[in-house]
């Protein structure tokens, strides 16, 4: 592969696809040549049109058993999830499938976290809460008994089934400032596709602040045999996802996202989704990301039918990235 053996992964979007169909898709992704996989972890979709939201941790056990791929998940501990429960979930999967699992940790979105009925905190409080959760999770994975009183509370927790080697805890970021902050605690960095100058600044900020481990990129894309089809898929499924923070952090229901995205222009959507019927153009976009130095790039086709995308990219895109 180019770019120091960049791994090309399949992103499994629980918000859009029934978990059984998503399992079939990730098995097929391995069959057509993807190197790895990752998935989302949401309680609700971003739009009522997406229509799903399976429980990631149940699904991950099945997906790891059904394939030989490595998997990651993006999780937000602290409100919907107690950090001790996430440590137990991480530890069990890593013990069952050594070397094949990692977890990215972020501060979350109200769309998932409001279900607890607790107040949705300010961003600075959410970051502080995440930092406490990271320390709790690391200590539990190291075999310590943990008690903690802060933004999260833990009473004499201990993990009894643990992996021999704790898996990577990766920092999730979309801004340069957050990427720099993640360098304090993370074993790697994950972000989403953006202009290459912004992505380069994020990687540089993370590394210059002492950030270690691999850097991951999730790429939203839409492909179909014709340009009209590719645009229609993206517009139907992903126009509710064009909003920058803090809007995307603070809206609470799929209905809210659908209302605010009712009049999104296609040009705005094209800023966050790589939309093209031309596979060579997708190759070009991905080569730019590879050249930035990402260690893993996870491809998220924003449509609900994954098979045509997997077949086309397996045959005509992945080989060119590895040439």
Catalytic residues: 42, 109
Indicate left, alpha or beta for 55 from its phi (over 0: left) and psi (-120 to 50: alpha): beta
Cβ atoms within 10 Å, residue 169 = 22
Give the Cα separation of 316 and 323 in Å (integer).
11
3-state secondary structure the chain: CHHHHCEEEEEECCCCCCHHHHHHHHHHHHHHCCCEEEECCCCCCCCCCCCCCCCHHHHHHHHHHHCCCEEEEEECECCCECHHHHHHHHHHHHHHCCCCEEEEECCCCHHHHHHHCCCCCCHHHHHHHHHHHHHHHHHHHCCCCEEEECCCEEEEECCCCCCCCCCCEEEECCCHHHHHHHCCCCCCEEEECCCHHHHHHHHHHHHHCCCCCCEEEEEEEECCCCHHHHHHHHHHHHHHHCCCCCHHHHCCCHHHHHHHCCCCCHHHHCCCCEECCCHHHHHHHHHHHHHHCCCEEEEEECCCCCHHHHHHHHHHCHHHHCC
Give the Cα separation of 244 and 246 in Å (integer).
6
Contact present, 215 and 293 (Cβ < 8 Å): yes
Cβ atoms within 10 Å, residue 194 = 16
């Amino acid at each position: 592969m180019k770019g120091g053996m960049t791994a090309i992964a399949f992103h499994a979007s629980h918000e859009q696809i029934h978990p059984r169909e998503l399992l079939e898709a990730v098995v097929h992704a391995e069959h057509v040549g993807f190197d790895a996989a990752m998935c989302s972890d949401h309680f609700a979709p971003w739009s009522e049109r997406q229509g799903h939201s399976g429980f990631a941790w149940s699904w991950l056990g099945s997906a790891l058993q059904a394939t030989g791929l490595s998997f990651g998940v993006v999780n937000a501990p602290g409100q919907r999830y107690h950090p001790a429960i996430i440590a137990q979930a991480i530890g069990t999967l890593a013990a069952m499938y050594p070397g094949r699992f990692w977890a990215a940790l972020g501060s979350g979105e109200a769309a998932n976290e409001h279900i607890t009925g607790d107040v949705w905190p300010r961003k600075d409080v959410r970051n502080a809460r995440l930092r406490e959760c990271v320390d709790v999770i690391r200590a539990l994975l190291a075999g310590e008994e943990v008690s903690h009183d802060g933004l999260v509370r833990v009473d004499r927790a201990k993990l009894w089934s643990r992996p021999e080697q704790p898996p990577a805890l990766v920092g999730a970021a979309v801004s340069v400032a957050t990427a720099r902050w993640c360098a304090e605690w993370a074993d790697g960095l994950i972000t989403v596709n953006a202009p290459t100058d912004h992505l380069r600044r994020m990687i540089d900020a993370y590394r210059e602040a002492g950030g270690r481990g691999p850097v991951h990129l999730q790429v939203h894309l839409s492909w179909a045999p014709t340009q009209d089809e590719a645009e229609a898929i993206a517009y139907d499924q992903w126009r509710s996802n064009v909003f920058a923070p803090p809007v995307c952090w603070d809206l609470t229901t799929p209905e809210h996202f659908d209302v605010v995205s009712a009049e999104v222009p296609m040009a705005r959507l094209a800023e966050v989704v790589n939309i093209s019927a031309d596979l060579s153009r997708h190759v070009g976009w991905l080569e730019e990301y590879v050249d930035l130095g990402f260690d893993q790039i996870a491809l998220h086709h924003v449509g609900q039918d994954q098979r045509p995308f997997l077949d086309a990219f397996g045959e005509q895109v992945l080989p060119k990235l590895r040439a």
